[in-house]
C-alpha cells in the first residue's frame, strides 16, 4: 500500500499549529510543522505545478533518509521534543507583555521502520496559494477560525500578515493580488482573510475544511482517522476571547464586517452577514 501524505493548511493563527501538535501524538504519523524545506521549494518553484512536483520529490527523499537511518529536520518546542501547539508564548512582566518564539528545527533520527508512516506537513500561505495543484496527489485539510479573533491575533503579534504582507502567496496566486488591494491595514487584512475563505470555498469537495471552534470541542471526532483515539487529550481552551486581543480592534472589525459584504467569509461564518 502506498504511504499516505497529508497537507495541513489554513488561515494564519487559525489553529494549524494546534492541529499538528494533536496529530503528532499519534505515533503512526510523522509531522513536519512549517518545515524549512518549504522555503527552498517556494524560492525554486516558478508555478503551482513546480511546488507540487518538488514537494513530492522532497517527501520521497525524506522517506529514503528515514529508511537508511539518517536524521530529518523536525520543528519542536525549544524545551522539549514535542511539537508546539502555538509558535508564540506571551509573558507579562511588570505590566509589559513579552512575546517569545518557542519553536526550533532540530535533527531527529527516527526508527527506520517509520519510513512508510503517514507524513503530515503544515504550511499556510504557500499551500493555500497552490491548492489547485496540490489536491490531486495529496489529501488536504484546511483550518479556519472566526475572522474577528483571527485578525485580532494577527494584530497582536509581529508577523508578516500583521502588516498586511502576503508576499509568498502573490508569486503563485493571481487571485490574491486581485482581491487584496485596500490601502488601509484593517480592510486589507479582512481582504486577506476573505481570500483564504475564497480558496477553500472554491476547492470545497476536493479538500476538508475544519473550523477551529469545532476542533477545540471535539478533536477526536474532527481529526479522525489521523488521531490516536486511545490518547487522553487535555481540555483545549478556546482562545477566541484572548485577553491580549485589542477590544478596539475587535469592535472595528465587527463593524466593518457587518457593514460590508464579504461573501466568502459569510459562507463559512454567516453571523457576519451585513445587517439589512
Indicate if the pLDDT at residue 89 is higher than 90. no
Please say if the pLDDT value at position 91 is more than 70.
no
Q: How many Å apart are CA 226 and CA 148, to the nearest integer?
A: 29
Asked if 182 contacts 253 with a C-beta cutoff of 8 angstroms, the reply is no
pLDDT score of 224: 86
Cβ atoms within 10 A of the Cβ of 56, count? Answer: 14
- Whether the pLDDT of residue 233 is over 60: the answer is yes
User: Does the pLDDT of residue 94 top 70, yes or no?
Assistant: no
CATH 3.40.50 is right for the domain spanning 5-272 = yes
Whose CA is closest to 210, among 196, 223, 193, 194?
223
Inform me whether the pLDDT recorded for 235 exceeds 90: no
Confidence of residue 100 (pLDDT cuts 50, 70, 90): confident
Over residues 35-63, the pLDDT tens digits come to 999 999 999 999 999 999 999 999 999 99
> Quick one: pLDDT band at residue 90, thresholds 50, 70, 90?
confident
Q: How confident is the model at residue 88 (pLDDT cuts 50, 70, 90)?
A: confident
pTM, to two decimals: 0.95
Look at residue 69 in the predicted model and tell me its pLDDT. 97
Give pLDDT, residue 1.
54
CB 118 within 8 A of CB 6: yes
Range 127-156 average pLDDT: 97
pLDDT digits (tens, 9 = 90+) for 180-227: 999 999 999 999 999 999 999 999 999 999 999 999 998 888 898 898
What residues does each domain of the chain span? Answer: 5-272
Amino acid at each position: 500500500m502506498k504511504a499516505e501524505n497529508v497537507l495541513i493548511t489554513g488561515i494564519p493563527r487559525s489553529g494549524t499549529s494546534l492541529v499538528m501538535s494533536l496529530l503528532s501524538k499519534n505515533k503512526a504519523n510523522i509531522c513536519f510543522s512549517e518545515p524549512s524545506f518549504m522555503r527552498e521549494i517556494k524560492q525554486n518553484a516558478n508555478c503551482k505545478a513546480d511546488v507540487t512536483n518538488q514537494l513530492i520529490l522532497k517527501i520521497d527523499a525524506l522517506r529514503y533518509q528515514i529508511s537508511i537511518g539518517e536524521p530529518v529536520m523536525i520543528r519542536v518546542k525549544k524545551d522539549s521534543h514535542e511539537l508546539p501547539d502555538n509558535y508564540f508564548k506571551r509573558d507579562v512582566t511588570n505590566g509589559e507583555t513579552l512575546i517569545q518564539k518557542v519553536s526550533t528545527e532540530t535533527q531527529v533520527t527516527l526508527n527506520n521502520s517509520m519510513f512508510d508512516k503517514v507524513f503530515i506537513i503544515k504550511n499556510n500561505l504557500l499551500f493555500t496559494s497552490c491548492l489547485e495543484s496540490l489536491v490531486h496527489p495529496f489529501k488536504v485539510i484546511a483550518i479556519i477560525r472566526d475572522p474577528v479573533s483571527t485578525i485580532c491575533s494577527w494584530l497582536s503579534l509581529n508577523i508578516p500578515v500583521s502588516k498586511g504582507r502576503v508576499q509568498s502567496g502573490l508569486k503563485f496566486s493571481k487571485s490574491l493580488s486581485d482581491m487584496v488591494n485596500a490601502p488601509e491595514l484593517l480592510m486589507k487584512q479582512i481582504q486577506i482573510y476573505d481570500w483564504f475563505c475564497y480558496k477553500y470555498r472554491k476547492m470545497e469537495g476536493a479538500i476538508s475544511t475544519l473550523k477551529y471552534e469545532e476542533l477545540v470541542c471535539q478533536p477526536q471526532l474532527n481529526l479522525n482517522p489521523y488521531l490516536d483515539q486511545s490518547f487522553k487529550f487535555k481540555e483545549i481552551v478556546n482562545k477566541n476571547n484572548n485577553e491580549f486581543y485589542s477590544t478596539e480592534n475587535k469592535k472595528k472589525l465587527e463593524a466593518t464586517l457587518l457593514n460590508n459584504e464579504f461573501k466568502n467569509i459569510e459562507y463559512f461564518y454567516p453571523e457576519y452577514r451585513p445587517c439589512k
